Amino acid sequence: MISHYGRAAVRRLSRLATVGIAAGLFTAAAQAITISEWDIYTYPDQTSAVDAALKDFSALHPDITIQRSVHSFDDTRIPLKLALSSGDGPQVSHVNQGGGDMGALVKDKLLHPVDAYAERYGWNKRFPESILKRNRWSDAQEFGSGKLYGVASLGEMVGLYYNKALLDKAGVAVPQTLDELQDAMAKLQQQGTAPMMLGLLDGNMGQQLLSTLWEAQIDSADRKTLDDLIYNVGGSFNDAKLIKAGAMMQDWNKKGFFFPGFQGIGGDDAASLFQNGQAAFLVSGTWYLGQFKGNKDIHFATMPKGAGVTHPLMVGGTDLAFSITSTAKTQQQRDAAAIFIDYMVSDKMADRWLQAGFLPASSRAGAVIPADNPLLGEAWQVWVALNQNDGLGHYIDWATPTMNAELNQNVQLLLGDRLTPEKMAANFDSNYAGYLKTLKKH
């Protein structure tokens, strides 16, 4: 279950920052304590935001020292488990959600549950259950239920980017429904504008479009079936709405709605083409907000919804969760670790993330939006409304450890007219059933 932030962190940035952080639970006579922390905030603007936050903590509260170590995503997963298993490693760490990472660490008793801290600091009120559920594991290794093992600081979602100048030129309004989106693309095409940007060569842009079209047809009030599927309770991908999403993509391809040559274009290259005004729409994630900031014609909106849907789900998630590890052996260490985590998900840190151009995982309506970044402001308003309606959906590849590759391959075949939407759903079911069988063995 890898977020975009996790996937994007492919280069290792290794450095150490030692900063004093306060502990509100400590008295003036309390002993100073040092906490080791690992995170994957390798983007320069991210790591600068964290460094600034740590300096702020240091000035306010000198009792706790945080030894920060920054890693790439891949440089965190296996090394973290090895370090914790040997009794070494950080007391606080970013942990990837899902069975292969957080689930495995929970099973081996390498993480501490944080339910008591969630109650103390109000994390269970700050975040909707649809977010917290991603960090829950039961004693029976059931994903999405049971004890809480972390909270995340950043959020992300997949929505509709549009170029308002191109829409205005074609006399097209911002679509509110999937039917309106199709009508808009037909009109844009008639006037010589490429309707939808897409890059299928690498990455996950194709599967995200498929997932987004599926979840746009699911009302948040009816999310349990999808939740059960993703959290391995059971279910089937043989869903009429998923099949309709696949058929819609095939139809759009046949009608020429996608940017010419999309099969040979990478995801980031497709984003750059969209940024340069080469298409009117792009379905992708908030990780491109910073890149698109300079083009004032580009806007971000909720994905148009399916028929009969009031509050559609939107594909999305959070970055990796901050967790307290087994090397926090004393109560004092665990309390200090929780104080650090609480700051990382605080209103103050949320405002700092927004100033740096990133989307916080919390959704406080009164957050401070940078005046020079209206695109981020639009995305933030979508995020707030989404979480008010418990509408944060799922990356479908979370369902199994190998579903990401399965999705990418099947979407390529789907848009190459080499398999039907029904066969695609059957392939997903086969992958899912195989994974569920492995879970029953443990």
> Which of 3, 12, 68 minimizes the C-alpha distance to 38?
68
Tell me the DSSP string of 98-167. Answer: SIIIIIHHHHTT-EE--HHHHHHHTHHHHS-HHHHGGGEE-TT--BTSSEE--EESBEEEEEEEEEHHHH
How does residue 410 score in pLDDT terms, banded at 50, 70 and 90? very high
Cβ pair 281, 162 in contact under 8 A: yes
Q: Tokens 């007391």 appear where?
A: 91
Cβ pair 243, 421 in contact under 8 A: yes
How does residue 43 score in pLDDT terms, banded at 50, 70 and 90? confident
How does residue 11 score in pLDDT terms, banded at 50, 70 and 90? very low
How does residue 23 score in pLDDT terms, banded at 50, 70 and 90? very low
pLDDT at 30: 53
Burial class of 251 by CB neighbour count within 10 A (0 to 12, 13 to 18, 19+): exposed
Q: Is the pLDDT of residue 19 over 80?
A: no
Cβ pair 194, 218 in contact under 8 A: no
Q: How far apart are the first and last CA of the chain?
A: 20
Q: Which residues belong to CATH 3.40.190.10 in the chain?
A: 33-155+318-380, 156-316+392-440
How does residue 193 score in pLDDT terms, banded at 50, 70 and 90? very high
Cβ pair 345, 126 in contact under 8 A: yes
Spatial neighbors of 409 by CB under 8 A, at least 6 apart, are none
Spatial neighbors of 202 by CB under 8 A, at least 6 apart, are 266, 267
Mean pLDDT of the chain: 90
User: What is the CATH class of 156-316+392-440?
Assistant: alpha beta
Half-sphere exposure of 387 (CA within 13 A, CB side): 26
74 φ, ψ (degrees, to nearest 5): -65, -25
Distances in whole angstroms, Cα of residue 176 to Cα of each of 69, 96, 133, 405: 44, 34, 29, 31
d(CA 9, CA 6): 6
How does residue 203 score in pLDDT terms, banded at 50, 70 and 90? confident
Other Cβ atoms within 10 Å of 305 Cβ, number:
24
Distances in whole angstroms, Cα of residue 340 to Cα of each of 115, 151, 268, 276: 16, 12, 34, 41
Specify the DSSP element, H or E, that contains 334. Answer: helix 331-344
d(CA 142, CA 125): 23
User: How confident is the model over 79-122, as pLDDT tens digits?
Assistant: 999 999 999 999 999 998 877 789 889 999 999 999 999 999 99
Instruction: Report the range of poorest mean pLDDT among 19-33, 62-76, 322-336.
Output: 19-33
285 φ, ψ (degrees, to nearest 5): -100, 170
Q: Tokens 């009816």 appear where?
A: 222
User: How confident is the model over 302-353, as pLDDT tens digits?
Assistant: 999 999 999 999 999 999 999 999 999 999 999 999 999 999 999 999 999 9
> Which of 43, 40, 68 minimizes the C-alpha distance to 53?
68
In CATH, what number does 33-155+318-380 get? Answer: 3.40.190.10
Burial class of 87 by CB neighbour count within 10 A (0 to 12, 13 to 18, 19+): exposed
How does residue 364 score in pLDDT terms, banded at 50, 70 and 90? confident
d(CA 79, CA 101): 11
d(CA 246, CA 424): 8
Cβ pair 73, 10 in contact under 8 A: yes
Mean pLDDT for 154-180 is: 97
pLDDT at 441: 58
Do you know the residue count of the chain?
442
Q: Is the pLDDT of residue 8 over 70?
A: no
Half-sphere exposure of 288 (CA within 13 A, CB side): 25
pLDDT at 73: 80
Mean pLDDT for 164-186 is: 97
Structure tokens at 312: 């559609």
Burial class of 234 by CB neighbour count within 10 A (0 to 12, 13 to 18, 19+): exposed
SS3 label, residue 425 = helix
d(CA 144, CA 136): 5
SS3 label, residue 190 = helix
pLDDT at 42: 87
How does residue 3 score in pLDDT terms, banded at 50, 70 and 90? low
pLDDT at 142: 86
Its pTM stands at: 0.85
